[in-house]
Amino acid sequence: MSSIHRAETFPANTPAASQIFTTVLSHGPLTRLEVARRAGLSPAAVTKAVRPLIEAGYLVEDVDETARPALGRPANPVRVDGGRALFIGLKVTGDAVIGVLTDLCCRIRVARHAPLPDREPGSVLASVAELTGTLLAEAGDLGVPVLGLGIAVSGDVERGAGVVRYSPFLEWRDVPLAELAAATTGLPVTVDNDVRALTVAEQWFGAGVGLSDFAVVTVGAGIGCGLVVHGRVVAGAHGVAGEIGHVAVDPAGPPCHCGNRGCVEAIAGDAAIVRRIRESTGVEVADTAEAAALAHQGNAGAREAYARAGEAIGRGIATVANLLGPERVIISGEGLAAYDLFAEQIRDAFAAAAFGTAAQCDVQTRPLPFEEWARGAAATAIQSFIRADDQRQYR
């Protein structure tokens, strides 16, 4: 594996400096005064924190001589120099690892994927190493250092420890993925839950920019949820958070792999929809593509399965709204491919179950391909890099 990456630390070792950089990253170019206002800090603190970031090349100032006051604080806007550093983000799916090479602004420069022969940790690690090698070679061609690797995995992930505690989808328990991947790739590694990673990308660069409270709900093989409350992604005191898929909406509902009954995922996950259609119609649909095709042909049983799924998702979203009152809920995930089959039921069930003004929450859909999830993983690596004091990455 080529190894042009090198140990480099971010010259901002206070929470305020990280916050200033993140503010410029999401909202820049901004003048120092605008940064101060948005970050709730004093202009003096911003000016002081910006200086070493400019010196190290992470921020650049767009010099406009006409805007420079004769005395005092520079009035030129500052922005992040995306080309200063590169990051790798990987999303582990059931049959492949999707990888992206992004710049410091989390813009995708290269996207690649590597097949997964099976879901054993060793196999996934081999694909991670292969894909990382490919992307490092691409970075070498660009002549820019790669400063971190983010890996997004579904399930209960303890980011601080870098451990996948439990991933039902991968059938993993207590896999120290960050440590293993750091040893294999030589890069600082951040491991996070895939939906939380996507949520970080939405918060910094997507439909969550400027919102202090929002949720990302993903529909597909699993039903996931990333929550931002008071401007920060919720991680949970014990590693579990955002498990909308395991909110039980019907005690008489179908059994769930978690051992409970009537979970949103047990009604609205891909496998649940396929199973329901097989049972009610007798048609042996192989996957969601066939399931959706049958529903689109007007098959009543297939349509009912999607309607039930939509109702469960809508009730789950209403539960999030009733408990947290987010400004916006962003629905995404590969399940959006069949969105027309349950959009109405999601809306109706949400409206019926939302309490009072919680119904004012802006529920919107946003298709995000797997590359965007990988980009989310890169965003977590950038986050770890600029908040190195959090010690949330393995080296």
Q: Which helix (H) or strand (E) holds 153?
A: strand 146-153
Residue 150 in the binding site for a copy of itself (CB under 8 A): no
- Least distance (Å) from a copy of itself to the CB of residue 266? 12
User: What does the H/E/C string look like for 279-318?
Assistant: HHHCCCCCCHHHHHHHHHCCCHHHHHHHHHHHHHHHHHHH
**Radius of gyration of the CA atoms of the chain, in A:** 22
Residue 229 in the binding site for a copy of itself (CB under 8 A): yes
Residue 232 in the binding site for a copy of itself (CB under 8 A): yes
Residue 331 in the binding site for a copy of itself (CB under 8 A): no
Member of 268, 358, 378, 386 binding a copy of itself (CB under 8 A): 358
Q: Which is nearer to a copy of itself, 122 or 356 (CB)?
A: 356
Member of 98, 124, 227, 272 binding a copy of itself (CB under 8 A): 227
Member of 242, 310, 333, 335 binding a copy of itself (CB under 8 A): 242
CA distance 126 to 184: 9
# residues contacting a copy of itself (CB under 8 A): 53
Residue 47 in the binding site for a copy of itself (CB under 8 A): no
Sheet holding 214-218, edge to edge: 232-233, 224-229, 214-218, 328-332, 362-365
Member of 259, 284, 297, 298 binding a copy of itself (CB under 8 A): 259
- Least distance (Å) from a copy of itself to the CB of residue 259? 7
Residue 314 in the binding site for a copy of itself (CB under 8 A): no
- Least distance (Å) from a copy of itself to the CB of residue 319? 5
Residue 166 in the binding site for a copy of itself (CB under 8 A): yes
Nearest to 161 by CA among 187, 140, 182: 182
Residues 179-205 as b or e (16 or more Cβ within 10 Å = b): bbbbebbbbbbbbbbbbbbbbbbbbbb
- Show the tokens assigned to 306: 């999607």
Residue 267 in the binding site for a copy of itself (CB under 8 A): no
Member of 156, 192, 194, 372 binding a copy of itself (CB under 8 A): 156
**Would strands 224-229 and 232-233 be described as parallel, antiparallel, or unpaired?**
antiparallel
Q: Which residues contact 189 (CB under 8 A, 6 or more apart)?
A: 148, 149, 150, 151, 162, 177, 178, 179, 181, 182, 381, 393, 394
Map residues 92-131 to x or -, x wherever contact with a copy of itself holds by CB under 8 A: ----------------------------------------
Alpha helix (H) ranges present in the chain?
Answer: 15-27, 32-39, 43-55, 121-142, 177-185, 194-205, 264-268, 270-281, 288-296, 300-324, 343-353, 370-386
Residue 360 in the binding site for a copy of itself (CB under 8 A): yes
How buried is 140 (Cβ within 10 angstroms: 0-12 exposed, 13-18 middle, 19+ buried)?
middle
Residue 162 in the binding site for a copy of itself (CB under 8 A): no
Residue 143 in the binding site for a copy of itself (CB under 8 A): no
Residue 361 in the binding site for a copy of itself (CB under 8 A): yes
Q: Which stretch binds a copy of itself (CB under 8 A): 76-84, 269-277, 296-304, 313-321?
A: 313-321
Half-sphere exposure of 20 (CA within 13 A, CB side): 31
- Least distance (Å) from a copy of itself to the CB of residue 281? 23
Member of 251, 282, 284, 298 binding a copy of itself (CB under 8 A): 251
Alpha helix (H) ranges present in 143-212?
Answer: 177-185, 194-205
Member of 110, 234, 271, 388 binding a copy of itself (CB under 8 A): 234
- Least distance (Å) from a copy of itself to the CB of residue 255? 12
Give how far Cα 215 sits from Cα of 27, 222, 340, 365, Å. 20, 16, 21, 12
Residue 246 in the binding site for a copy of itself (CB under 8 A): yes
Question: Which residues contact a copy of itself by CB under 8 A?
Answer: 15, 40, 156, 165-166, 212-213, 225, 227, 229-232, 234-244, 246-252, 258-260, 315, 318-327, 352-353, 355-358, 360-361
